[in-house]
């Protein structure tokens, strides 16, 4: 199973806390497949900004 890890980048603590809570989210196999299809690795690589 693939693991998605959020990278919280925020200037405000409120948003950082929301981002950290994302690690509690569990996706089903079909949700992971849907995400993989929507954002294939070959088109989602690159610099942040």
Question: What mean pLDDT comes out for the span 40-47?
Answer: 70
pLDDT digits (tens, 9 = 90+) for 3-41: 666 566 778 888 888 888 888 888 899 998 998 888 887
Specify the pLDDT at position 29. Answer: 92
Q: Which residue has the tokens 């299809």?
A: 37
φ, ψ for residue 44 (rounded to 5)? Answer: -110, 15
Residue 48 has pLDDT above 80, yes or no: no
Q: Cβ–Cβ contacts within 10 Å for residue 27, how many?
A: 14
Does this model's pTM top 0.85? My answer is no
d(CA 49, CA 45): 12
φ, ψ for residue 14 (rounded to 5)? Answer: -55, -45
Specify the pLDDT at position 34. Answer: 92
Specify the pLDDT at position 5. Answer: 63
């Amino acid at each position: 199973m693939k693991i998605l890890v959020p990278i919280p980048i925020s200037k405000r603590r409120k948003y950082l806390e929301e981002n950290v809570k994302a690690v509690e989210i569990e996706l089903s196999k079909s949700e992971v497949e849907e995400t993989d299809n929507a954002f294939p690795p070959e088109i989602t690589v690159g610099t942040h900004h």
